Amino acid sequence: MELLHSKIIGEGTPLLILHGFLGMSDNWKTLGTQFAQNGYQVHLVDQRNHGKSFHSPDFDYDVMSDDIIQYIDHFQIGNTTLIGHSMGGKTAMQLATVHPEKVSKLIVADISPKYYPPHHQPIIDALGHLDFNEITSRKQADEVLSNHLSEVGIRQFLLKNLYWVESGKLGLRFNFDVLQNKMDEIGENINATATYEGPTLFLRGERSEYIMPNDFPEIKKHFPGAAIETIDKAGHWLHAENPKQFFEKSLHFLNS
């Protein structure tokens, strides 16, 4: 089994950060540095089929959770604090409920334990129009995506995955073929009887619909010790839209 790619910053209490769907560890570099400056050894991890980690046809929360267990064991971390956003939050929830002895504290960013119907199809369709036999610059790639995705922020987020495969040849870091075929897995709920009793914080974006008040009982059923707080003036990418409040609320929970 291959080891996930990561960037490790700082010294102190281990803190693993798991990005969301089509993201990568680099998305968390600024916040990761802030946590590192406050006494944490921050592990910014690329999940399988994302960033610089290995590509695999196997893609569900069981194998992604196992990847993190292998990573924790490899670095002899013992138990750790986990922050997971969206898909990364589901991985973190899966890990905490199956291996609670590995997790001292859990922060879940803008995702709940419930099932989410597939809803990334417009993004996948737009990415499918990228032909890297013709596209030779970030500007060209953005022009193609802009024909299908009007929101600049989403296009910028996706284009962070562009890299030079070889001289003159661009590509995407994530495993597009597998991810477009496994989108149903992204929305999967965690096991109906799964629970984690440890300290847990759910952070939801004020403008996001991923965690609604009617989801609170389901969260409390699986995570009886959970606090649920709202990040002001933020949507689903709450850590990018209001990083100051996200950091303050996270750090207060971690240090409490």
Q: Any idea which residues carry the catalytic annotation?
A: 86, 177, 236
C-alpha span between 150 and 48 (Å, rounded): 28
Tokens of 200: 């847990």
Three-class SS state of 14: strand
C-alpha span between 13 and 176 (Å, rounded): 34
Handedness of CA 200, 193, 1, 111 (dihedral sign): negative
20 touches 86 (CB < 8 A): yes
C-alpha span between 33 and 198 (Å, rounded): 25
C-alpha span between 70 and 78 (Å, rounded): 11
Task: Considering only CA atoms, give the Rg of the chain.
Answer: 18
What residues have CB less than 8 Å from 141, skipping those under 6 apart?
A: 130, 135, 159, 162, 170
What residues have CB less than 8 Å from 72, skipping those under 6 apart?
A: 16, 78, 80, 102
